Amino acid sequence: MLSRRFALLIALAMTALTAVAYLPALKGEFVWDDDAHVTAPGLRSWDGLGRIWSEVGATQQYYPLVHSAFWVQARLWGDHPLGYHLVTLACHLACAGLFLVVLRRLEVPGAWFAAALFALHPVQVESVAWISELKNTLSTALFLGALLTYLRFDAERRAAWYGLASVLFLLALAAKTVTATLPAALLVIFWWRRGGIEARRDVVPLLPWFVVGAAAGLLTAWVERTLIGADGIDYELSGLERFQLAGKAVLFYASKLLWPADLSFIYPRWVLDAGNPAGWLPLAAVAGIFFAAFRLRSRSRGPLAVLLLFVGTLFPALGFINVYPFRYSFVADHFQYLSSLAMIALAAAGARLAAARIPGTLRFALAGAVLLGLAALTYRQSGDYRDAETLYRATLARNPGAWMAHNNLGKELLASPESREEAIRHFEAALALKPDYAEALNNLGLALSQNGRPREALPYLQKSLQLKPDAHQTHNNLGIALAGAGRLEESLQAFTEAARLAPQVPNIRENQAKALLLLGREAEAAKQFEAAARLRQRQ
């Protein structure tokens, strides 16, 4: 047992080392969809805070607690990324601290080492360096807080502890619904500790949690499908293919924990084929591991409990439920932030037991070497999140087939006239990989138009609208290209349609007004300029 002073020194050292490991990301800018998660100007009022909780669709995802945290931060430091990065890192450190307390409460060997492994493991970089993933770090902290409090209730059976645990669980669900797995995780922990589960003592108090968690999960699945767009041809998998995917995903996540090499923001999207016998090998391997752990349970229930916790917490990301990222990859590092706790605890406990006969000084030196190595990997990985261009270039270096990264890198390059030709090449690369990519078609059309080639832009913009006829920005870009090609009447029609689809976007009204002016319709143009000015005043 460590003395309090020594334990405090270790905690401070781990906190400092983790902060240093994430230093490149702390200096970073917003990437990918961060700007869509950070509270929009129209929601930064008290009324906006109410909408965050009461209006599904007011924010990127319906995780009202996370977006309330963004709301507070927007009022504190606006659009400056540093504050957001510090809050996410603080939540990550809180997760590591709570993980330590939970493991010590459960008397798991190697608790300190496990907490340090979790804090410094490079697979966590995506959740900590990417501001949007505050939902991961905040929800996991609340998950662990609820777990710890419920363990206190289980020991003392006091209603106050049950009530506090229930509040923390509801808050965790409001941050991310993967935490709905907590009641099942508690039952696994009780079985591991006691060798069995009593219905009245163990199951009945958790029934309300199961019901609320299932409702939250159904709501999130509906939001993903109907509001975010996790539907369509990219998600058309047969039942057998989904089982095949689950087996591959479980092995993938475990392998990245054991050997965190070639981590990427976007991994290659697997081709699934239920008729290919080789495609079933991963699922067979997972089944074999479960069978071995089941046979071992009379000697030790730990391995089976860890497998149940790991796979059970991963379940929402294993392919049985559609989530938006499946459009471009079936796996992502941030999907296993919560589930990694179980595997890390097992690894740390195994290392502690294996090192029992090693002298204390050498044991600390070996543990320190492992942690410093992980910190170095995390430092390098977090450097990918300095800015969007760096992130997409790093992604393409590891996964050249990442069509979304080609498109997004092109959008970053398009902001500078000097890099438009390179942007065009990336849009073309995205379309070579995914010809029906409406956003890349639109972006390529815009790039060609901006580069003085409006006639070449028209077919791409028109095809994009065939795929997504209600995309107001594409109608707007079509209007720009048509105006550049001298087709003013058609240009006005495109701007008018864009304004119909998005009446609150001022730059579309301004383009509509300019088209009217070029056609000699000054009075109508003046009205549109006035409407655009009013819209800008409201922003």
What's phi and psi for 401, nearest 5 deg? -90, 10
Report the alpha-carbon distance of residue 397 to residue 459 in Å, rounded. Answer: 30
For residue 508, the one-letter residue type is I
Report the alpha-carbon distance of residue 286 to residue 318 in Å, rounded. Answer: 13
- pLDDT, tens digit only, all 539 positions of the chain: 567 787 788 889 999 999 999 999 999 999 988 988 899 888 999 999 999 999 998 888 899 999 999 999 999 999 999 999 999 999 999 999 999 999 999 999 999 999 999 999 999 999 999 999 999 999 999 999 999 999 999 999 999 999 999 999 999 999 999 999 999 999 999 999 999 999 999 999 999 999 999 999 999 988 888 888 777 788 889 999 999 999 999 999 999 999 999 999 999 999 999 999 999 999 999 999 999 999 999 999 999 999 999 999 999 999 998 888 998 999 999 999 999 999 999 999 999 988 888 887 888 899 999 999 999 999 999 999 999 999 999 999 999 999 999 999 999 999 888 999 999 999 999 999 999 999 999 999 999 999 999 999 999 999 999 999 999 999 999 999 999 999 999 999 999 999 999 888 889 989 999 998 888 888 888 988 888 888 787 65
- pLDDT score at 534: 85
Q: 466 Cβ partners below 8 Å, 6+ apart?
A: none
Proportion of the chain in helix, strand, coil states, percent, rounded to 5: 80, 0, 20
Report the alpha-carbon distance of residue 123 to residue 136 in Å, rounded. Answer: 13
- pLDDT score at 294: 96
pTM confidence score: 0.92
What angle is formed at CA 323 by the lines to CA 150 and CA 215, rounded to 5 degrees? Answer: 40
Classify residue 206 by its DSSP letter: G
Nearest to 206 by CA among 177, 178, 180, 171: 180
- pLDDT score at 155: 94
CB 445 within 8 A of CB 464: yes
Residue 24 corresponds to which tokens in the numbers above? 């490149």
